[in-house]
Amino acid sequence: MAGAGALIQIGVVGCADIARKVSRAITLSPNATISAVASRSYDKAASFAADNSFPPTAKVYGSYEALLDDPDVDAVYMPLPTSLHLKWALLAATKKKHLLLEKPVALDVGEFDEIAEACEYNGLQFMDNTMWVHHPRTTAITHFLTDPHRFGLLKSVNSCFTFAADADYLKNNIRVKPNLDSLGSLGDVGWYCITASLLTANYELPKTVIASPEPVLNQDGVILECGASLYWEDGKVATFRCSFLANLTMDITAIGTKGNLHVHDFGIPFHEKEASFSAGTQTSFNDLATGWSSQPTKHTVKTHLPQEARLVTEFARLVGEIKYKNSKPEKKWPIISRKTQLVLDAVKTSIQRGCEPVQIQESGVKEFVAV
Amino acid sequence: MAGAGALIQIGVVGCADIARKVSRAITLSPNATISAVASRSYDKAASFAADNSFPPTAKVYGSYEALLDDPDVDAVYMPLPTSLHLKWALLAATKKKHLLLEKPVALDVGEFDEIAEACEYNGLQFMDNTMWVHHPRTTAITHFLTDPHRFGLLKSVNSCFTFAADADYLKNNIRVKPNLDSLGSLGDVGWYCITASLLTANYELPKTVIASPEPVLNQDGVILECGASLYWEDGKVATFRCSFLANLTMDITAIGTKGNLHVHDFGIPFHEKEASFSAGTQTSFNDLATGWSSQPTKHTVKTHLPQEARLVTEFARLVGEIKYKNSKPEKKWPIISRKTQLVLDAVKTSIQRGCEPVQIQESGVKEFVAV
């Protein structure tokens, strides 16, 4: 099991529900395999491995430390609550494990930088687990949005990611607990809206962020529902809304000077093997304005591998480049993650300040380490 | 030509481009006919009548006053620039003409009330020319939005109406001239976004309106592009964006506790004889969240008459009820128009105050006349 063709050995650190989906994705990926799983309880880890068809070679650990000490593990996928990311991500970096970290990456950009710098210092690939950007549909969308003839310049983008959490979720889920995932819906589903806003703006950071009035917090101060507007220097604007309290909806609507884009399932496509978007260019009414002479058209993109497996494949590819070819880690991924975290922080700060505008400082635009 | 079956005789006051569409709509309506047309120039009115296949019986006038003095005219359609509405609508009311008035109705709610009160005082039907609410698709949408099982309670709605005006429009159109249509894109396309926001909220007025930062004004102070957020007492929120500077886009995205709605051509349907919307109820992911187990579905509503002809038919029906059956004017339409104008005023005021929040006063909720 050595050489450029060998599978990247991934350890799963934590048995959260999302780890079921990602474990399947690792199994589906042609260049990765699950080599270990850890929980704070050995039994829980063993059950998880059995329930999720882990390969018989996968080792089971009753502690995260034990897995991180396993020399056969190249990289870890870490679906722990956000408040635990700093501790365990730093330890993973110390143990030279490449890191696929669940989003939101950190409680704030200060923590983010500690994690990303530890990965950088140790020559490790960092990637957050935002799956949708790895779908070939997203590539097609990006081509459309960056085409001066088909889309022109971005003017505005609205996105949303909401779902209706049930009573049990709103009482017991880690995402409503201030000591676990204190960023609540902003960190969970708002993260996607921010990635959508940034991707649509070609990853240019906004200048100003303003949270919408009257966010909904639970009794412990965790955000259950909020919105925000992002403003760029050139006048373009992004608005988004994220919520645990409204029916499942997951949209991007982007309007450019020459085109428009609609996506209704951007974070998780309706179907696993194909996904669609609607694109319009120089849409127009007919002469009497009794209908449209040019309207948006639907584009469908097929994918053999689901987006989460494409993410794992890309992560494992980069890990393999480092492991077998002595390459440097790909900085694109931590840079995108950091920008997302910066905007998320600004929204949170705006909420804390009564929805005052928050400036994103120019220094925030810089990469977190000198190249 | 008397009795309940007679056609309502409509005079067209002004030969704006939109009058071509509405003249066709009058012709298509089974209970109305064009009996006269007026322009400040006789030749222009005569050409307009010839170019738009007016019935040979239609009279041609070289002044608005002359048409308003014609005793055969029951009602007028008035597509004049907004700054002229007050003068001509009041004169029409004095002359006992029922009034179909182009939107935006007035420069502000003070003017609106003068017009609506003049109609009320003279027992005349008032209706503004917002066509889309007369489409049977809008009725189907309303049924969906008010269904506690399919949609639940409204949480948020985003709408937009943008189009890319060309250089000539941005220089010469009445909608960029401070002395003609000084409300610019807010009055023109923003009006529709406000109607969409109010319809979605079952015509409950919001409590607070906040314009988005950095609206785009031309050198004469006319709004070319702006956005706003509307906040209701119960926490629901509407956001919208209107623009003359972005590709033609016309959306409603409404999210309720149990459902969601998407419309991509709400103001003017893609096709004249049928229109669609997408409705989701308790949409959900599959177990592994690798796809959706329940997704929105498309609904298509056919209509024999285009929406603008349905509007005229409804207007003429109400006029006929008054003329032949001594009914009272239907108050629903001026009430909806007034609420739209109130919100529009609040957005404009917020823009003028540097995007400060503007409260919509409780008194504004009252009907403009005692019943």
Given this model, what pLDDT does residue B366 score?
A: 43
> H-type helices in A122-166, by residue range?
136-145
User: Are A241 and B156 a contacting pair at CB < 8 A?
Assistant: yes
A238 and A205 in contact (C-beta within 8 Å)?
no
Q: By C-alpha distance, which of B270, B341, B333, B261 is closest to B307?
A: B270
B355 and B194 in contact (C-beta within 8 Å)?
no
Instruction: Give CA–CA dist B56/B34, Å, rounded.
Output: 10
The tokens 């008032």 sit on which residue? Answer: B126
Shortest CB distance from B247 goes to which of A227, A260, A290?
A260
Residue B134 carries which side chain, given as an amino acid letter?
H
The tokens 């049977």 sit on which residue? Answer: B136
Count CA within 13 A, CB hemisphere, residue A141.
28
pLDDT tens-digit series, residues A82-141 = 999 999 999 999 999 999 999 999 999 999 999 999 999 999 999 999 999 999 999 999
Q: By C-alpha distance, which of A12, A5, A46 is closest to A27?
A: A12
Three-class DSSP category at B270: coil
CB < 8 Å from B in window 246-275 of A: 246-249, 251, 253, 255-260, 262, 264-265, 268-272
The residues of B annotated with a catalytic role in the active site are 103
Q: Is B215 on the interface with A (CB under 8 A)?
A: no
Which range (A4-13, A342-351, B121-130) has the least confidence?
A4-13
Q: Is A349 on the interface with B (CB under 8 A)?
A: no
Q: Which helix (H) or strand (E) holds A111?
A: helix A109-121
Mean pLDDT taken over chain A: 95
Residue B348 carries which side chain, given as an amino acid letter?
K
CA A180 to chain centre: 18
Cβ-based contacts of B283 with chain A (< 8 Å):
247-249
Q: Is B281 on the interface with A (CB under 8 A)?
A: yes
Q: What are phi and psi of A295, to 5 degrees?
A: -125, 165
The pTM (predicted TM-score) of the whole model is 0.95
Instruction: Give CA–CA dist B75/B67, Å, rounded.
Output: 10
Three-class DSSP category at A230: strand
Q: Is B137 on the interface with A (CB under 8 A)?
A: no
Distances (CA, A) of A59 to A28, A39, A67, A313, B334: 19, 12, 9, 21, 72
User: Are A237 and B227 a contacting pair at CB < 8 A?
Assistant: yes
User: Are B210 and A213 a contacting pair at CB < 8 A?
Assistant: yes
A43: DSSP letter: H
Residue B42 carries which side chain, given as an amino acid letter?
Y
Distances (CA, A) of B264 to A33, A296, B298: 44, 9, 12
B174 and B81 in contact (C-beta within 8 Å)?
yes
Q: Which structure tokens are listed for B68? A: 């308003």
**For residue A347, is pLDDT > 60?**
yes
A106 and A112 in contact (C-beta within 8 Å)?
yes
Q: Which of B237, B255, B310, B358 is the mutation pick for testing A, counting most A CBs within 10 A? A: B255
**For residue B94, is pLDDT > 50?**
yes
Q: Which structure tokens are listed for A143? A: 């081509």
Cβ-based contacts of A53 with chain B (< 8 Å):
none
Catalytic residue among A103, A236, A339, A348: A103
B255 and A247 in contact (C-beta within 8 Å)?
yes
**For residue B370, is pLDDT > 90?**
no
pLDDT tens-digit series, residues A40-57 = 999 999 999 999 999 999
Mean pLDDT taken over chain B: 95
Check if the interface score ipTM surpasses 0.90. yes
Three-class DSSP category at B141: helix
A65 and A91 in contact (C-beta within 8 Å)?
yes
User: Are A158 and B285 a contacting pair at CB < 8 A?
Assistant: no
Shortest CB distance from A265 goes to which of B229, B264, B292?
B292
- Mean pLDDT, to the nearest integer, of B343-359? 97
Instruction: Give CA–CA dist B261/B253, Å, rounded.
Output: 6
Q: Which of B248, B251, B266, B359 is the mutation pick for testing A, counting most A CBs within 10 A? A: B248
CB < 8 Å from B in window 163-182 of A: 164
Q: Is B82 on the interface with A (CB under 8 A)?
A: no
Shortest CB distance from A306 goes to which of B160, B255, B290?
B290
- Ramachandran region of residue B38, left (φ > 0), alpha (ψ -120 to 50) or beta? beta
Instruction: Give CA–CA dist B180/B161, Å, rounded.
Output: 21
Cβ-based contacts of B242 with chain A (< 8 Å):
none
Chain A nearest C-alpha distance from B257 (Å): 4
Given this model, what pLDDT does residue B270 score?
A: 98
- Among positive and negative, which fits the CA dihedral B31, B34, B36, B40? positive
Shortest CB distance from A247 goes to which of B164, B259, B278?
B259
Given this model, what pLDDT does residue B5 score?
A: 65
Interstrand relation of A223-231 and A237-243 (parallel, antiparallel or unpaired): antiparallel
Given this model, what pLDDT does residue A341 score?
A: 98
**Closest chain B residue to the Cα of A161, Cα to Cα:** B255
Three-class DSSP category at A236: coil
Peptide bond into A136 cis (omega under 30): no
Task: Name residues whose C-beta falls within 8 Å of residue B250's C-beta, 6 or more positions apart in sequence.
Answer: B160, B161, B162, B192, B264, B265, B266, B267, B268
Which range (A3-12, B151-160, B170-179) has the least confidence?
A3-12
User: Are A212 and B227 a contacting pair at CB < 8 A?
Assistant: no
pLDDT tens-digit series, residues B196-250 = 999 999 999 999 999 999 999 999 999 999 999 999 999 999 999 999 999 999 9
B360 and B208 in contact (C-beta within 8 Å)?
yes
Given this model, what pLDDT does residue B361 score?
A: 81
Q: State in Å, rounded, how far the first CA of chain A is from the last one.
A: 33
Task: Name residues whose C-beta falls within 8 Å of residue A324's C-beta, 6 or more positions apart in sequence.
Answer: A3, A4, A6
CB pairs A-B closer than 8 Å: 191
**For residue A1, is pLDDT > 60?**
no
Q: What is the radius of gyration, based on Cα positions, of chain B?
A: 21
Instruction: Give CA–CA dist B160/A254, Å, rounded.
Output: 11
Q: What are phi and psi of B205, to 5 degrees?
A: -75, 140
Shortest CB distance from B21 goes to which of A210, A239, A288?
A288
B279 and B254 in contact (C-beta within 8 Å)?
no
- Residue B17: other Cβ atoms inside 10 A: 12
pLDDT tens-digit series, residues A152-175 = 999 999 999 999 999 999 999 999
**For residue A2, is pLDDT > 50?**
no
The tokens 């607990």 sit on which residue? Answer: A177
User: Are B270 and A292 a contacting pair at CB < 8 A?
Assistant: yes
Instruction: Give CA–CA dist A48/B200, Å, rounded.
Output: 45
> H-type helices in chain B, by residue range?
18-28, 42-51, 64-68, 85-94, 109-121, 136-145, 167-172, 184-185, 191-200, 307-325, 332-352
Given this model, what pLDDT does residue B369 score?
A: 42
Q: Is A24 on the interface with B (CB under 8 A)?
A: yes
- Ramachandran region of residue A134, left (φ > 0), alpha (ψ -120 to 50) or beta? alpha
Q: Which of B131, B169, B288, B307 is the mutation pick for testing A, counting most A CBs within 10 A? A: B288
The tokens 């003279």 sit on which residue? Answer: B122
Between B364 and A197, residue with greater pLDDT: A197
- Among positive and negative, which fits the CA dihedral A181, A183, A189, A194? negative
Shortest CB distance from A155 goes to which of B245, B259, B268?
B245
**Which residue pairs, CB below 8 angstroms and at least 24 apart, start in A139-147?**
A140/A277, A140/A299, A140/A301, A141/A199, A141/A261, A141/A263, A141/A277, A142/A199, A144/A259, A144/A261, A144/A277, A144/A279, A145/A199, A145/A200, A145/A202, A145/A254, A145/A256, A145/A261, A146/A202, A147/A259
Encode burial over B332-342: b for 16+ CB neighbours within 10 A, e otherwise: ebbbbbbbbbb
Instruction: Give CA–CA dist A293/A278, Å, rounded.
Output: 16
User: Are B268 and A289 a contacting pair at CB < 8 A?
Assistant: yes
Instruction: Give CA–CA dist A96/A110, Å, rounded.
Output: 21
Peptide bond into B56 cis (omega under 30): no
pLDDT band at A361 (very low <50, low <70, confident <90, very high): confident
- Mean pLDDT, to the nearest integer, of A181-188? 97
The tokens 């804390």 sit on which residue? Answer: A352
B152 and B358 in contact (C-beta within 8 Å)?
no
Q: Is A281 on the interface with B (CB under 8 A)?
A: yes
Q: Which residues pair with B36 in a beta bridge?
A: B11, B59
Cβ-based contacts of B164 with chain A (< 8 Å):
257-258, 282
pLDDT band at A3 (very low <50, low <70, confident <90, very high): low
Instruction: Give CA–CA dist B197/B204, Å, rounded.
Output: 10
